[in-house]
Amino acid sequence: MPESNDWLGSRRTEVAVDRILDAAEQLYTQQDQATVGMNEIARAAGCSRATLYRYFENREALRTAYVHRETRRLSRAIKERISGIDEPPGMTASRLFQPPRTPPQWVSINSRSGTPIASSTVQGRST
């Protein structure tokens, strides 16, 4: 079987999907996700609707891929932030369910572009 001359072939799909999801993220953080259409996402990504549908069957599939990507990103960020905590395994998780010892703090979770996508209070702990 002859080798392909398409040296970007293996990364082309990944790059295209990332570009589309980046465009979707930008639109999702600017307006209600339910109002964002595939035409808008294709236009923001700089691709045709046909290209968009090549990678995502429908709007729900695109939203699901976006949520999965952000979940993986947030998971990595959380692991990185708690990696330096010197406590026995499981202790950090158990503290999440204890009553606060200090007033709660406001925390915001941002998208890759820095736009807040979720915010909440977290339980503080005294040192």
pLDDT, tens digit, 9 for 90 and up, residues 35-46? 999 999 999 999
What pTM did the predictor assign? 0.61
Residue 101 has pLDDT above 90, yes or no: no
Q: What is the mean pLDDT of residues 59-79?
A: 91
What is the residue-wise DSSP string for 55-105?
A: H-SSHHHHHHHHHHHHHHHHHHHHHHHHTT--S-TTHHHHHTTSPPSEEEE
pLDDT confidence of residue 69:
94
pLDDT confidence of residue 12:
86
Tokens 């691709």, residue?
Answer: 47
Residue 102 has pLDDT above 70, yes or no: no
Q: State in words which class domain 9-86 has.
A: mainly alpha
Q: What is the DSSP letter of 114?
A: S
Q: Please give the helix or strand (H or E) that residue 120 lies within, else none.
A: strand 116-124
